[in-house]
Structure 1
Amino acid sequence: MASLKEVRARISSINSTQQITKAMKMVAAAKLRRAQDNITQLRPYAQKLGQMLSTVSAGAETAQESPYKHVRSIDRVLLIVVTSDRGLCGAFNTNAIKAALSLIEEKYASQARSGNVEIMAIGKKGAEAFQRRGFKVNTTYVDTFGSLSFANVRLAAEEAMAGFVSGSYDVVELVYNEFKNAAVQIVQTEQMLPIVSASSTPVNQAAASSAMNYIFEPSEEEIITELIPKTLKIQLYKAVLDSNAAEHGARMTAMDKATDNAGELLKALRLVYNRTRQAAITTEILEIVGGAEALASAA
């Protein structure tokens, strides 16, 4: 059985840890509120922008000839993996990294063996994980969450788009955690480039016929040329905002559980402490009684 001093030291240590986890939970909750507002405000805009592009570009030659729609034989792959800069957020980072690795194994195993899979890491945890596994990692955007803004994310999107157009990459995939609520994050994998055409579906056929009723100002070509790159940038920005909100939700949940676990440990340790102290007092009393009886017998 541990000594009283050792038990007291453990209780003090767990108390300090519990105070830290409580503080981290409160900080994560405050950040989550702001991050949740940001993603809920952007989602309708991103969805409407995508619908507008689908409606306007259905059947339009300019859209079909866009360099962002060119489908090529897949030799070089870029994976944009969005994780966090810090840990202590449960399985948040692990889930995104596992999803990216599964995607590589299932779809791009031959390219990975040839060393033609590159990772664009948004978040330090993803960069570190893929560097340990020997992948070529672009770490330019690992500090994006330090000053999260559309301007910073736009640079990452533009680099990926320029690489696709120049032929440096034949496909660009996006892996991130989608925010559902504070306790639930859903890992999403999306093909960013080339843009997947769904013009054969009934919805898009209807959009193609209704597109004839539009009057374009400026020209249809200018609108589509502007819309496609903007939609791709918004797609990446939405993924980063989703991941940011999901990270704070995961950290808040993880710290809440850690605080509860610390409380359970403290209960168990206090019980051990009281039992040990009671045993020590009983032993001391027995020693005193034994000593008194020995003195009485000697007298």
Structure 2
Amino acid sequence: MASLKEVRNRIVSVSSTQQITRAMKMVAAAKLRRAQDNIIQMRPYAQKLGEMLATVSSGSETGSDSPFGQTRSVEKVLLILVTSDRGLCGAFNTNVIKAAMAHIEANYADLARQGKVEVLAIGKKGAEGMTRRGFKVNAAYQGIFTQLSFVAVKEAAEAAMAMFANGQYDRVDLIFNEFKNVATQIIRTEQFLPIASDPANGQGGRPNINYTFEPDEEQIVNELIPKSLKIQLYRAVLESNASEHGARMTAMDKATDNAQELLKDLRLVYNRTRQAAITKEILEIVGGAEALA
């Protein structure tokens, strides 16, 4: 049985940890509110812009001729992984890495064995996880979540777009956590490049819209495509940011509850140890008194 001092030290240590996890939960809750507001405001705009891009690209010669719409034989793949820079958020980062590995195994197993699947990581944990698994991390963007802005994400989007346009990669896929609620994050895998045409266009799905272009179709489409791609990646990063805070809030809440349960057990052990020590001292005193008598 542990000594009273050892149990007392453990109680102090667990109490300190509980205070830290409780504070981290409160910080995550405050950040979550702002992140949730940002993604709720972004979703309708990103969705509508994506629909417009898909419709225009599938029904326009300019969209089809864009370097970002060229469909090529897939010989080299780039995966954009959106994770966090820090841990202590449960399985948030692990789930993205597992989804990436499953996606590679299901679609690019042969290319992966040839070393033709590489990673662009937004977030430190994704870069570390894929490096440990033997994948080359082409680029890693860290610190974006410290002061999250469109300008910071734009650089990563432009890098991926440039590498696809110059033929360095034939396919670019995006994997991230989509925010549903505080306790639930959904892993999404989306085709980033080449631009996916609208499968419902002219096939009984959404109506075939005839857009009027001003000043001209070529200029509008050439400006719309890069902007839409950057917005698509920015939305994924906002989704991941809100998901991270939700996951960290949930993880810290569970850690606080676990610390409370552990404190109950430790206090019970402490009281039992203390009672045993007192009983032992009483028996020694009684035994000494009888010996003197």
Q: Is the 8 A contact 2:127 2:140 kept in 1?
A: no
Partner SS state of residue 168, structure 1: coil
Aligned-pair identity in percent equals 70
Determine the structure 2 residue equivalent to 1:292: 289
Taking structure 2 as the reference length, the TM-score comes to: 0.96
Determine the structure 2 residue equivalent to 1:202: 204
Residue number among 258, 263, 270 corresponding to 1:273 in the alignment: 270
CA–CA distance in structure 2, aligned partners of residues 171 and 156 of structure 1:
16
CA–CA distance in structure 1, aligned partners of residues 70 and 53 of structure 2:
17
Q: Is the 8 A contact 2:54 2:196 kept in 1?
A: no
Partner SS state of residue 243, structure 1: helix
1:54-93 equivalences in 2 (<5 Å): 54-93=54-93
The Cα of 1:255 is off from its aligned counterpart by 0.3
Q: Larger deviation: 153-162 or 247-256?
A: 153-162
Q: Tell me, which stretches of 5 or more residues in structure 2 are unaligned?
A: none
Q: Tell me, which stretches of 5 or more residues in structure 1 are unaligned?
A: none
Taking structure 1 as the reference length, the TM-score comes to: 0.94
Determine the structure 1 residue equivalent to 2:29: 29
The Cα of 1:54 is off from its aligned counterpart by 3.7
Partner SS state of residue 233, structure 1: helix
Q: Is the 8 A contact 1:83 1:93 kept in 2?
A: yes
CA offset digits 1:136-156 (Å, max 9, x no partner): 103441222223211111111
Q: Which has the higher helix share?
A: 1
Residue number among 216, 219, 224 corresponding to 2:216 in the alignment: 219
CA–CA distance in structure 2, aligned partners of residues 56 and 100 of structure 1:
30
CA offset digits 1:79-107 (Å, max 9, x no partner): 00011000000000000000001111111
- Quick one: structure 1 residues 126 and 54, their matched pair in 2 at CA, closer, same or farther if it must change by over 3 Å? closer
Determine the structure 2 residue equivalent to 1:259: 256
CA offset digits 1:247-292 (Å, max 9, x no partner): 0100000000000000000001101111111111111111111111
Larger Rg: 1
Partner SS state of residue 145, structure 2: helix
The Cα of 1:228 is off from its aligned counterpart by 1.1
Q: Is the 8 A contact 1:77 1:117 kept in 2?
A: yes
Q: How many residues align?
A: 291
CA–CA distance in structure 2, aligned partners of residues 68 and 34 of structure 1:
33
Determine the structure 1 residue equivalent to 2:158: 158
Q: Is the 8 A contact 2:175 2:189 kept in 1?
A: yes
Paired AA for residue 189 in structure 2: T
2:240 equivalent to 1:243: yes
Q: Is the 8 A contact 1:118 1:138 kept in 2?
A: yes
The Cα of 1:223 is off from its aligned counterpart by 1.3
Residue number among 224, 227, 230 corresponding to 1:230 in the alignment: 227
Q: Is the 8 A contact 1:127 1:142 kept in 2?
A: no
Q: Larger deviation: 131-140 or 217-226?
A: 131-140
